[in-house]
Structure 1
């Protein structure tokens, strides 16, 4: 009896598990062979729920008719495939480069047909595209041509290198990827084509280059351009912009490109005029964006020295952009505005064949259900990925947000936030919903948590406006009352003969101490800098003690600026909350300047002593106290609409401090303007030399310490 009851309970448990798995297929994929991550606006990486689940491996078992044995199937696997395209019916077209053919599969991965050229065999084709009307375009790379076939595979037209005076003689027509717009215009990415996409009309006539990358110039290049003659600069190796690696388009006509050989702007969304719509990198463009795309997975204790190398991209039906990285093996997905949604992947290992892991991703595509397909050219297979419940929720909520339907997206974002409170897009979506319904204080808090300065600024502006409107009458009454009290007091003083101001000399003058005079001299320097700095050297009006106090106040003011400036104007407040490093840097640079300036001034027949240079350089830091502290307090009341006021005062602060340093050299050393300018250049050069010597000294000291310790270990062991 007990045994039968136990068997029934076990059977019921098994049936329940099967039912749960059937109702929630994601549960069956709990053991995903990769981790999904998100990186917030402060560049902090953290794990999140899996967004895409591995669903299937397609295209591994392909059989064709054996030409040697008609009617007999022959195994014909993919061989180094390079491109993948999915049409409106979710059929797959694969550029099977190693086999010199185009393979057509259905949605389940079953072979439908093999496409080949009628006139002559394909030669290492690397790109394929299917137009909305069913025409098939093939980038026949080895034959330097693009073929246009109808839906039945019959050749319609061959596109070769167009004839145009606008095309350089050095340009090689080696097509690798292509798309075709609704007009039938071709956008072709060519091997090494730094000029951009080659644009041809339906008849193959050259229309221009489209979406070219800009040439990146380093600081050294700028110096060379400034100092070199034309002949010298022309002998330098020319710097060319990166060539476009792949191209895709969406239903709205935007053309998307990815580029490997650039450090920023690897991903572009181009309108019909060729202007990049992702130039600011989405929502976070106003704070910490650097315009870089393609993520890498940071490992504890591992320094990532290799930059991402984006090889291909796809745009799904919702406008989300997914890119693959052939170097780091990472898949990154962004929304239509360039905001990161999630990324996953990593090294697959040399021997692994797990479902979902890709060794060499060469192409990516998406179907009508926003499922992803990644072509693995090393394993010769197509990996299929289906959206998880979390991924579907994020896509739906983010799509409503991108369409401006913030209130509809709010319950979805609340569910995402419930599942992962650290997922920044959810916080940002809730912030936009709060702003839309007029809860500006909640929106300000959420925008601050998400790190979006523009939203934080707009919410604060609304709160400030409401506060001003509610309190305007109160403050006007206070101002009117103060004015009335002042008038009444002045009339009463005239009527009764009251003296509102003491007579000169009344009460006598207190004798000031020497330190007080030296501290007061800082105010004289602010009004008359040249005369004040001259007085430090030749009239003894400044001393090391007072200078040290002024320097300490400037150091404290600088620390206050770094720690308390509103994050709208200083994002490092969040990313680097500690001010210890900033204070050390300030002190080291200032002290290095003092030493370097004294040394160069001594060699230039300057009249200043070290104590004079020290005191004058300390007094020159007064702007950090006089302007820095009020500016920091003011930043808490300003929005990005008043950013020009903040930056004007900030630039004025540093400009004033730089001028005071220049005038202190001129006044303390008794230099002319030209001699002072020359001394400044020598001081900066000496400062760099000192920094290099200190670096070398520390390096040698550490190596010497390591050598002595190794000798000690050897002696101790023996």
Structure 2
């Protein structure tokens, strides 16, 4: 018995230790959340993270008011279709209870305090509420087409109806849905369908201007319609209007934030007093540099191709922006510069309600502790989310980075990266800290891992500068020695027999060598050179095959080994097999299409002439592409104009050679050549569509015969 007890002792000790660890673990680490939290890195790759927020409670259920029939009794009066929520500086919660035509006031703990219903002028379906620093209550009384201002006790002070102004178009519909008020007392009103932007009124209700309007999206199809349609046809087109602002809020610094549903870019705006959007071109964590940002994340594209529809937002005390998606039910959080921090969502299709899963998010707000309060219109409640330990750590580190305190942010970012090695903001924060300390090698590596080209380029510029400073003397000495040596050697051997013999050397008469050298002649005299391939046999299958292989290798090297600064996709796996097939498919499609069109369009060239000439026309890909790939690895974004010029020059050069090839080999005029190339490109497109349809029908045909086989075997 003693032996058995001793044998079990280690097991008992381990069990006790496990229980002790479980007791000591933070509650947030053990808490279950019914949703997944994600992040997307600079290459749009999905990253799974720890939960940033934990659902803690539900508010708004315990609302009891005096019974209208018997005031001595209290009756339950739940929220009905709540549309708006606002939290003041004292964390009091105000809910626009649209279905009950009232405002519900809760204290900071969610306890019911009072009903605001303005007896002297009843509200009708209010959708927005805002409280200023003095405690005055502004309500977007949508059903009554007005905004009303109440004092702290709920007494009506003023109502703002449709302003009487000649600058306000007659077609403008004044249906206020959200309202915000700045420190001056100016009102910013979002109206239903108001594509002109926010309606800005002064404290007296006078119209000032439209503020923060969206721009009309103009597609290629719109440009074609404008070019091809007559004026009458174009006027019959449905007017294309910019998206209308869905909601508005103001942060502690006076910046005005708007969110719009009906646009695909710039859904969230951060506007200063002049109306300039400070998020328009901020893209700090993107691999593609500065561009108009797109807000609204989705984990995986939906089958019915639904796109995010952001309908409300809030800004916490650290300037972080959190927006809700009414269509896909996502909660998206961005920092003060519009860079993604987290997004999450749960299964809203389940019939039973779960704490943390918001079925129909209609509004959102945040309190002084940066907790989130999301209004669930379907369940008629407010769900409260508290920052998790991981979320608090990210917010703390990111706040230090935003304030430029990079060295102080290093320790919390290291802890974040320890908890999640794939969280890109942590890499960026550490990269900026390393750059600040002068550790440019570490900064360059971290910027590379994060997929941020600008930071990578800046770090490399510093590394290159330091290298040149250390080695400038040696480089100049080598340069001088080489130049002086060349001049002396040239002087001494100017009349030597060796140089005379080299000048009079016998040129190679091997046909293949002559044909390969002909590529250089084509660069100088393209029309004569391509004519020589057609009529003088200066091209062959062997030489063309070598030129094609050279172009293919150059293309693969160019795509796979151009510096990360100019080709950030190399961080992802570059599939050389895919590049090979892309190149060959396009080349064969061009050869076939160009030959077919030339045959129909009075061309004189044979199929082999088209094939040989097309391969020779690709010679600049090796002549420029390979050196460009090499020098890209010693260039930074400050030399981007040089790189772009050489890149465009290479493409234009190939295009011109293809043009001259068609003109020379088919004996065309300039106009006929242009038409031939245009028709060839159209034919390439049609061939691609035909192949796609063929493969699609083949798959359907295979499934059809398989279903017949199954039917026969079963019977």
Q: Tell whether 2:262 aligns with 1:271.
A: no
* Corresponding residue for residue 94 of structure 2: 93
Secondary structure, counterpart of 1:217 in structure 2: coil
Inter-partner Cα distance in structure 1 for 2:66 and 2:552: 81
**Counterpart in 1 of 2:5?**
none
Give 1:294's aligned residue: 296
Q: Distance in 1 between matches of 2:493 and 2:706?
A: 84
Alignment of 1:34-53 (within 5 A): 34-53=35-54
Q: CA deviation at 1:241?
A: 0.9
Shift of 1:141: 0.3
1:471 Cα deviation after fit:
0.7
C-alpha separation in 1, matches of 2:503 and 2:639: 46
- Kindly tell me: are residues 471 and 393 of structure 1, through their superposed partners in 2, closer, same or farther at Cα, counting changes over 3 Å? same
Report the CA distance shift for 1:115/1:15 in structure 2 as closer, same or farther (over 3 A): farther
Q: Which whole-Å CA distance do the structure 2 matches of 1:329 and 1:176 have between them?
A: 21
State the 1:519 CA deviation: 1.2
2:154 is the alignment partner of 1:153? yes
**CA contact under 8 A between 1:454 and 1:640: conserved in structure 2?**
yes
Asked if the contact 2:81–2:99 (Cα under 8 Å) also holds between the matched residues in 1, the reply is yes
Provide closer, same or farther for how the CA distance between residues 623 and 506 of structure 1 changes in structure 2, counting only shifts above 3 A.
closer
User: Does structure 2 conserve the Cα–Cα contact (< 8 Å) formed by 1:544 and 1:614?
Assistant: no
Summarize deviations over 1:512-560 as a string: whole Å, max 9, x none.
2222221111111111111111111122211232112111111111111
Contact 2:185 2:203 in 1 (8 A): yes
CA contact (8 A) 1:534 1:670 kept: no
Match of 2:544 in 1: 547
1:698 equivalent in structure 2: 695
- SS, match of residue 570 in structure 2: helix
Show the counterpart of 1:562. Answer: 559
Q: Tell me the CA shift for residue 507 of structure 1.
A: 4.8
Over 3 Å counting, the alpha-carbon distance change for 1:488 and 1:692 in structure 2 is closer
How many Å apart are 1:401 and its aligned residue? 0.2
Structure 1 position 465 matched with structure 2 position 462: no
TM-score by length of 1: 0.94
Secondary structure of the structure 2 residue equivalent to 1:35: strand
Mind listing any 5+ residue stretches in structure 2 that lack a counterpart? Answer: 3-8
Task: Work out the CA distance in 2 between the residues paired with 1:290 and 1:589.
Answer: 32
Does residue 412 (structure 1) correspond to residue 416 (structure 2)? The answer is no
Deviations 1:194-223 (CA, angstroms, capped at 9, x unpaired) = 111111111111111111111112221111
Please give the alpha-carbon distance, in whole angstroms, between the structure 2 residues aligned to 1:60 and 1:249: 28
> What's the counterpart of residue 499 of structure 2?
501
Aligned counterparts of 2:472 and 2:498: Cα–Cα separation in 1:
32
Superposed displacement of residue 499, structure 1: 4.0
Q: 2:526 aligns with which of 514, 526, 529?
A: 529
SS at 2:147 equivalent:
strand
Give the CA RMSD over aligned residues.
Answer: 2.3
Matched, 1:716 2:692: no
Residues 604-619 of structure 1: pairs in structure 2 closer than 5 A: 604-619=601-616
Alignment partner, residue 378 of structure 2? 378
- List alignment gaps of at least 5 residues for structure 1: none
Q: Distance in 2 between matches of 1:356 and 1:703?
A: 43
Equivalent pair of 1:196/1:213 in contact (CA under 8 Å): yes
TM-score, normalisation: structure 2 = 0.95
- 95-104 or 106-115, which deviates more: 106-115
Q: CA deviation at 1:275?
A: 1.6
**Alignment of 1:62 onto 2:63:** yes
Measure, in 2, the Cα distance between the counterparts of 1:694 and 1:377: 49
Distance 1:490 1:568 in 2: 41
CA separation of 1:18 and 1:45: change in aligned 2, threshold 3 A:
closer
Deviations 1:293-336 (A, max 9, x none): 1111238xx75721111111000000000011111111110000
Aligned to 2:24: 20
Pick the aligned partner of 2:666 from 657, 665, 669: 669
Number of corresponding residues? 705
Query: How far apart are residue 267 of structure 1 and its match?
Result: 1.1
Q: Which moved more, 1:570-579 or 1:371-380?
A: 570-579
Q: Using the alignment, how far apart are the partners of 1:68 and 1:612 within structure 2?
A: 97
CA distance in 2, matches of 1:165, 1:615: 70
CA contact (8 A) 1:90 1:367 kept: yes
Kindly report which structure 2 residues correspond to 1:208-287, keeping only aligned pairs within 5 A, or say none. Answer: 208-285=209-286, 287=288
The offset of 1:506, in angstroms, is: 4.1
Is residue 143 of structure 2 the alignment partner of residue 126 of structure 1? no
After superposition, the Cα gap between the structure-2 partners of 1:604 and 1:351, relative to the gap in structure 1 and judged at 3 Å, is closer
Structure 1 residue aligned with 2:513: 516
1:639 aligns with 2:636: yes
1:453 aligns with 2:453: yes
